[in-house]
Structure 1
């Protein structure tokens, strides 16, 4: 569902549930943004709307910042998770979705409709978008790192991502359906709505991809850090997460240690003399990308985009603060 469909269906659902009317105007440059005017109980209220496919918990902080700057801010989405709606109401952030749910608390105006769900018939027709399966997420990650690769042939893209050729077309079609790929001309494609695609990738990475990559949890000690520094400069073992952020920013003191490797599990354990520990602060994951990495102090770190994602999916405010520092310094120009 594209952004125009989302806002249209949200307004149409509002009309069904109430006698309220609304008009909207999409931004000419960025179709994530719209101006929406509500005619509610003989009052006319204008809001600046941000349109998304869905809203998840980790995105609330950014929405709160926007609502703080602009009290007439509303988030409009195809789907908003119940826990997120509860938090948005708690923070006084207006929202509406395509299911007819809405919350507005504005001066003397208060509107709350909740509990509506998609009809069973609609739910039965929903199919999985192949761009956000485990395989698709690996390909999307490569495209986020290399936006111009969207112009590659399917065969070339399959080669650089190590994804089966037959899957690539389905993944690109999925990105088109979700509104993240446009035809630049008759033959060339281009990525669009990259910031939202990044956020949706982070959702999929957290829920689908990352859990499938875990090799094991281990006891951490400083000798492991020294072993990585002196023995693994060839990208066999790549530093990610909080430890990578500590090295990049010199701001965060890592409490959890994340490593990515393409070495066999037993070889990794022998090389780093690892002791398994279900509660250990060192977690090792299978590396899911090829050659991209960020080099600092002669150490190979995971791509900055992955470091950012690993920080954002934690519940630690200091990690998220550090993620914002990395985003603003290294990623913002690419995604905004």
Structure 2
């Protein structure tokens, strides 16, 4: 376990003991096996109460964003045992959402939730004495995320020239140069004996992309939200986005990939001037509208699993950022069918 994760766990365990009278003991050992597709626990935590011990596969988070919470909820579907979240801080909104998903947690501020027979605790609203928002590393801000997205979406893209990576990512050559250096420093890029570059720790890199995307990049892509003036709820089924160099993301993209979700929000990623799309589909600006248009930022012709559909990684990020229960369940399906193989996951 990395030192930072150990520090978070120790601080949170001390706070749990103070507010709830519970002792949390974490097991030390080798790397743990997967307990579901997309999730390998960081450690195992045991909680004791009245001569009974509760064992939890545990995820440790330094900085919990809404999207990271959605990502975790999607991956915890189908776990073979109890799962637990330990974080530096969990705010009241996040605490309520975790309760909705019935995911137990505790943090370094003393907030906690357990809902097991013989173990019920709920403490929320406590704040850290030195609460402060950590600024994300440069690699996980808007421009760096574009390159990381391309590297994750296209297998072995990291082995190509920096100029080719820049073209596929839609960023400058200089951006790729510093980003590749930063990924090497962070342990996500290795140079092999052959001289070829290899992307490693892809599952963790994916997790960090999904957590950062809705805060650092997505708001910069938003053209606006719209309502349809003349279309029924299924208008998107007859819509052809090909003439506009556009594609479906979010709920519609997921519905097309999984045949599972009934979309309530339409997400369109489009290049260039979007006025033609607005005119074609009768869209008028509406801050609370059910259609959102975002700038398409990538140049990856082979990354999408279906025509007129965004790359699965982006659809997954859209779904978990929404924190909608329907979308979280569908996100798990998208991950299993399309994303697990991108990060080279083994079964266990």
Q: What is the TM-score of this pair, normalised by structure 1?
A: 0.74
Q: Kindly tell me: are residues 46 and 324 of structure 1, through their superposed partners in 2, closer, same or farther at Cα, counting changes over 3 Å?
A: closer
Give the structure 1 partner of residue 37 of structure 2: none
Candidates 5, 11, 14, aligned match of 2:3 = 5
Candidates 271, 276, 294, aligned match of 2:304 = 294
How far off its partner does 1:78 sit?
A: 5.1
What does residue range 1-336 of structure 1 map to in structure 2 within 5 Å?
Answer: 4-13=2-11, 24-27=28-31, 33-35=42-44, 47-55=56-64, 56=66, 57-59=69-71, 61-62=73-74, 65=77, 69-71=80-82, 73-77=83-87, 80-85=90-95, 88=98, 93-95=103-105, 99=108, 101=110, 103=112, 115=126, 117=128, 119=130, 128-176=136-184, 179=187, 181-185=188-192, 187-220=195-228, 221=231, 225=236, 228-229=239-240, 232-233=241-242, 236-292=245-301, 294=304, 296=306, 299-335=307-343, 336=345
Question: Which of the pair is proportionally richer in helix?
Answer: 1
CA distance in 2, matches of 1:255, 1:280: 10
How far off its partner does 1:289 sit?
A: 0.9
SS at match of 2:2: helix
CA distance in 2, matches of 1:40, 1:184: 49
SS at match of 1:206: helix
CA distance in 1, matches of 2:291, 2:52: 56
Cα displacement string for residues 221-260 of structure 1 (whole angstroms, at most 9, x for unaligned residues):
269648742xx43661212222233333333222222211
Q: Kindly tell me: are residues 110 and 319 of structure 1, through their superposed partners in 2, closer, same or farther at Cα, counting changes over 3 Å?
A: closer
Using CA pairs below 8 Å that are at least 6 residues apart, which structure has the higher relative contact order? 2
Q: What is the TM-score of this pair, normalised by structure 2?
A: 0.72
CA distance in 2, matches of 1:217, 1:14: 40
Cα displacement string for residues 140-163 of structure 1 (whole angstroms, at most 9, x for unaligned residues):
111110242233443432232121
Cα displacement string for residues 75-126 of structure 1 (whole angstroms, at most 9, x for unaligned residues):
34455445434655787755455x5757485887899998463758xx69x6
SS at match of 1:333: coil
Structure 2 portions without partners, runs of 5+: 35-39
Cα displacement string for residues 5-58 of structure 1 (whole angstroms, at most 9, x for unaligned residues):
223313553687679775522417788533456899999876533334433442
RMSD: 4.1
Structure 1 portions without partners, runs of 5+: none
CA distance in 2, matches of 1:43, 1:244: 46
